[in-house]
């Protein structure tokens, strides 16, 4: 692979994912052979299957055959670009049609390139590598913009963006979504006692403990503001979210960061608010967030260093 792409993959720490959608298995096998050593390949033989895999696996690139039965590539691309979860995924059309009109239509639908049949291994490798590099570079720059400078975890903006995506996906799949809000107990007193340098170190250590407690790659830990953190847990029911909250509470206490002025404990602790619901189109994510915040208030009023939670029923 080209050097720039190799560097971007190293920075990312994960192999690129490519979705190949074609009703002809021979084409899928040919593309798989070209990229299997460098990328994770997902395969679909219909438009509906392609949409499902794109939503669940969120590939870095989609190679999409134009001519498929039932739902053609144009309609698949149109739906991909209408979905907030998949609209940013670059699509390369695989086509036997070479007319300018066909290419214009493809670009209007949101495709980034075309590969003509029969497949030439050198051409497809060059074009896929180019668009993967662009995708990963954009992802890297976006990650910098969505990362909290102090703690190194995601920032509030990333939380807001991901909440929209997770809400829509859980709505579509009728799966639960949980939010955990974490607040460092008596942090102002910590800063007043130990100074802002140690206060910053405390927040970094707490952030890393929170992130380490989230076991799945699609769970998100963010710095929500000041000494407050928030976690997004898609496909996580209420009991699972309360379990994660308790793991976070224990992980922070295990850091044993001295806090002489705390009214709760001789070490730094956190209070947590948890809320879970099954999102629907008639419900608003702001209600879930407000419920988690209200549960955090209950935890703090009840003595801190604990988690309180609520399961919301529409």
- We report the CATH number of the domain holding residue 248 as 3.30.70.270
**Per the residue annotation, which of 33, 103, 227, 246 is the catalytic one?**
227
Cis before 118? omega within 30 = yes
pLDDT of amino acid 282: 76
From CA 93, how far away is CA 248, in angstroms rounded?
45
From CA 11, how far away is CA 72, in angstroms rounded?
36
For tokens 């140690």, name the residue. Answer: 198
Considering the domain architecture, whether residues 84 and 110 belong to the same structural domain is answered as yes
pLDDT of amino acid 314: 67
Domain for residue 49, yes or no?
Answer: yes
Considering the domain architecture, whether residues 290 and 250 belong to the same structural domain is answered as yes
DSSP 70: S
- The domain in which residue 173 lies consists of 156-311
Strand partners, 140: none
Last residue of a domain, one of 145, 171, 203: 145
- Quick check: is 227 catalytic? yes
Helix, strand, coil percentages for the chain (3-state, nearest 5) = 50, 20, 30
Number of helices (H), then strands (E), belonging to the chain: the values are 11, 10
pLDDT of amino acid 1: 44
What is the full per-residue pLDDT of the chain (314 aa) written as tens digits? 445 788 888 878 789 999 999 999 899 999 999 999 889 999 999 999 999 999 999 999 999 999 998 899 999 999 999 998 899 999 999 998 778 888 899 999 999 999 998 889 999 999 999 999 999 998 888 888 999 999 999 999 999 999 998 998 899 889 999 999 999 999 999 999 999 999 999 999 999 999 999 988 889 999 999 999 999 999 999 999 999 999 999 999 999 999 999 999 999 999 999 999 999 877 889 999 999 999 999 999 999 999 999 999 86
Considering the domain architecture, whether residues 77 and 17 belong to the same structural domain is answered as yes
> Residue 186 CA to chain centroid, in angstroms?
31
Domain for residue 151, yes or no?
Answer: no
DSSP 149: T
Tokens encoding 72: 């053609």
Report the number of distinct structural domains present in the chain.
2
List pLDDT tens digits, range 14-23: 899 999 999 9
Considering the domain architecture, whether residues 292 and 169 belong to the same structural domain is answered as yes
CATH of the domain at 130: 3.40.50.2300
How do beta strands 61-65 and 91-95 pair? parallel
Domain for residue 150, yes or no?
Answer: no
List pLDDT tens digits, range 234-256: 999 999 999 999 999 999 999 99
Total length of the chain: 314
Considering the domain architecture, whether residues 83 and 36 belong to the same structural domain is answered as yes
Nearest to 230 by CA among 248, 250, 255: 248
Strand partners, 310: 275
pLDDT of amino acid 54: 95
Considering the domain architecture, whether residues 134 and 166 belong to the same structural domain is answered as no
């Amino acid at each position: 692979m080209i050097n720039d792409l190799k560097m971007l993959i190293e920075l990312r720490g994960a192999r690129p994912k490519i979705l190949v959608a074609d009703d002809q298995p021979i084409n899928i096998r040919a593309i798989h052979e070209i990229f299997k050593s460098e990328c994770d390949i997902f395969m679909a033989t219909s438009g509906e299957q392609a949409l499902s895999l794109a939503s669940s696996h969120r590939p870095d690139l989609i190679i999409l055959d134009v001519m498929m039965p039932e739902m053609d590539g144009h309609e698949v691309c149109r739906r991909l670009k209408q979905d907030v979860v998949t609209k940013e995924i670059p699509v390369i059309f695989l086509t036997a049609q070479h007319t300018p009109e066909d290419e214009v239509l493809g670009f209007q639908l949101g495709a980034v390139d075309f590969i003509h049949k029969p497949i030439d291994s050198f051409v497809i490798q060059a074009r896929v590598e180019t668009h993967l590099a662009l995708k990963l570079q954009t992802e890297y720059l976006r990650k910098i913009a969505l990362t909290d400078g102090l703690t190194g975890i995601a920032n509030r903006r990333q939380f807001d963006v991901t909440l929209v995506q997770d809400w829509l996906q859980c709505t579509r799949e009728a799966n639960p979504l949980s939010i955990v809000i974490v607040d460092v107990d008596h942090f102002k007193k910590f800063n007043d006692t130990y100074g802002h340098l140690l206060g910053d170190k405390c927040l970094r250590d707490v952030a890393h403990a929170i992130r380490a407690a989230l076991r799945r790659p699609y769970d998100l830990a963010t710095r929500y503001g000041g000494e407050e953190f928030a976690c997004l847990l898609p496909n996580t029911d209420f009991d699972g979210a309360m379990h994660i909250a308790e793991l976070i509470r224990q992980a922070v206490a295990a850091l044993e960061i001295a806090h002489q002025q705390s009214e709760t404990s001789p070490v730094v602790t956190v209070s947590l608010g948890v809320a879970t619901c099954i999102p629907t189109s008639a419900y608003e994510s702001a209600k879930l967030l407000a419920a988690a915040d209200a549960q955090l208030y209950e935890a703090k009023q009840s003595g801190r260093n604990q988690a309180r939670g609520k399961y919301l029923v529409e």
